[in-house]
Amino acid sequence: MKAVHFGAGNIGRGFIGQILHQNGFEICFVDTNADLIQQLNQDGGYSIEIIDEAATTDFVDQVTALNSLSETEKVLKTIETADILTTSVGANNLVKIAPILAKGLKKRFDQKRSINILANENIINASDNLKATVYALLSAEEAAIFEQFAYFVNTAIDRQSLGKRVDGKAVAVVEPYYEWVINRRQLDPATSFDLTHVVLIDEMQPYIERKLYIVNAAHAAVAYLGALQGYETIQTAIQNEEILKLVNQFLAENLEYFVQEYHFSRKDLTAFIEKTLRRHGNQKLSDAIVRVGGSPIRKLGPNDRLVAPVVKLSARGLPHQAGMEVIAAGYHYRNVGDPEAEKLKKLIAEEGLEATIKQISKLTGELLEGVIAAYESQI
C-alpha cells in the first residue's frame, strides 16, 4: 500500500509517517525542503528519537520524497496511484497545496478511483477546511465528480514532535504519548484496509475541542505567559509557580465547558489536564516559546484555542477570568521574527488595543473589557 503525505516536518515524519509505516504503508513525502527531500531519498527512510526512559529509537523505511515545486508531474502521478492521502503542512499552508492536490485528484477520478484524504492540522475540522479550499478551484461539474470519489476525513492529532540534527541529518524527536483520532463516518466505505494505532470514533467534535481547548490552549498559554516574563522555552516557563497556577486555573475553567456540553467525566478530564501539563513540562524536551507562540493572530482568533473556550464559558455564565488573562498575554506577545507578531504589534500601535481585539478576536462587552483590563495589569 502507498501513502502520499504532504509535509515532511517533525509531525509528518515523527507522528503521521510513523503510524502509516506501522500500518504497512510505503510513504512518499511531498515537501519543498530540498535538503530534507535529498536526505529521505538517499537514506530510504529516517530516524525518530522517542523521549522515554529507554531512549527508544525507530527507523521508518520504505520512504521516498518529492519536491512539489520542481517535481510536479511526479507528485501528480503519486496522487493518482496512492491508497491514502494525508497532510501535516500547517493550517495556513493548506491553501498552498490545494492546487496540486486538486489537479492530481482530477486525473485520479477520471479513473473512478476513490480515496481518503486526512488533513492533520491544529485547527478544528482541518479536512473540511482543505475540502473547501480544493473545491474553490473546481467547476460545478468537477465538484460533482469529487463528491463521488473524494472522502475528506476529519482528524484530531496530539503528539509533541520536535527536531534536531545529528551528523548533518534531520531527526524527529517525539514524546512517547500520541493520539490520532479519525472520524470513522467520513471514511470511504470501500476502504480496503483497517488502520491500527489510531482511534476511530463517530463523533469528532468533542475530541477536536478537547485537543484545542485543553492541549493546544495549555501550550499557547504557557508560551504567552512565559514570553511576558522573558522565558525562552516551555519547559522553563512551566516551572514558574505563578505561570503554572494561572494555566491550571485556565484549564479548570475550560473543563467545566466539557462537563456541561458533552458530559465528560470531571475526574477523567482532571486527570487528562494533569497528564497534559506533565507532557508540556517534560524536561527531556526543549520547546522554544517562539515556536509554540508563533502565529499569534491565528491563535487569538474567535474560533481558536484561547478565545473560543472563553466565549463559550461566558455564554453559559461560567467563570472565565483566567482565560481573559491568558488572552491578554497573547496580545502582549512580540517576536521580530514572526510576521503575525509584528503585524499584531503594528495594529495595536496604529489602531489601539480595543480596535485590535475587536478585529482579531471579535470580542465585545464584558469579555472585551476584561481582556483590556488584564492586558493593562500585565504591563
CB 364 within 8 A of CB 356: no
Whether residues 196 and 210 fall in one domain: no
Whether residues 176 and 256 fall in one domain: no
Pairing of strands 115-119, 26-31: unpaired
In whole angstroms, give the CA distance from residue 198 to residue 212. Answer: 18
In whole angstroms, give the CA distance from residue 95 to residue 292. Answer: 22
pLDDT for the residue numbered 53? 80
pLDDT for the residue numbered 276? 97
CB 220 within 8 A of CB 200: no
Whether residues 298 and 170 fall in one domain: no
CB 15 within 8 A of CB 88: yes
| Number of other residues whose CB lies within 10 A of the CB of residue 220 | 27
Q: CB-hemisphere CA count at 13 Å for 147?
A: 6
Whether residues 278 and 212 fall in one domain: yes
Domain with residue 233: its CATH number is 1.10.1040.10
**Can you spell out the DSSP letters for 125-173?**
THHHHHHHHHHTTS-HHHHHHHHHHEEEE-EEEE--EEEEEETTEEEEE
pLDDT for the residue numbered 284? 86
Q: Which of 200, 231, 254 is the last residue of a domain?
A: 200
Q: Which of 140, 169, 200 is the last residue of a domain?
A: 200
- Which residue in this structure is represented by grid cell 510505503? 26
Q: Residue 238: phi, psi to the nearest 5?
A: -70, -15
pLDDT for the residue numbered 55? 85
Whether residues 35 and 120 fall in one domain: yes
pLDDT for the residue numbered 155? 96
The three cell numbers of residue 160 are: 509533541
In whole angstroms, give the CA distance from residue 254 to residue 311. Answer: 10
Whether residues 117 and 260 fall in one domain: no
Whether residues 212 and 324 fall in one domain: yes
Whether residues 70 and 213 fall in one domain: no
Minimal CA–CA distance to 90: which of 117, 52, 59, 129? 129
Whether residues 184 and 51 fall in one domain: yes
In whole angstroms, give the CA distance from residue 209 to residue 123. Answer: 9
Whether residues 364 and 257 fall in one domain: yes
Whether residues 102 and 249 fall in one domain: no
The CA–CA distances, whole Å, from 294 to 283, 288, 354 equal 21, 10, 22
Handedness of CA 161, 339, 102, 100 (dihedral sign): negative
Whether residues 173 and 221 fall in one domain: no
Domain with residue 86: its CATH number is 3.40.50.720
pLDDT for the residue numbered 54? 84
Measured N-to-C along each axis, helices 241-262 and 217-228 cross at an angle, to the nearest 10 degrees, of 150
Q: Which of 200, 230, 255 is the last residue of a domain?
A: 200
pLDDT for the residue numbered 182? 97
pLDDT for the residue numbered 134? 98
Q: pLDDT per position in the chain (379 positions), as tens?
A: 999 999 999 999 999 999 999 999 999 999 999 999 999 999 999 999 999 888 899 999 999 999 999 999 999 999 999 999 999 999 999 999 999 999 999 999 999 999 999 999 988 899 999 999 999 999 999 999 999 999 999 999 999 999 999 999 999 999 999 999 999 999 999 999 999 999 999 999 999 899 999 999 999 999 999 999 999 999 999 999 999 999 999 999 999 999 999 999 999 999 999 999 999 999 888 899 999 999 999 999 999 999 999 999 999 999 999 999 999 999 999 999 999 999 999 999 999 999 999 999 999 999 999 999 999 999 8
Give the domain extent around 302.
205-377
In whole angstroms, give the CA distance from residue 260 to residue 378. Answer: 31
Number of domains in the chain: 2
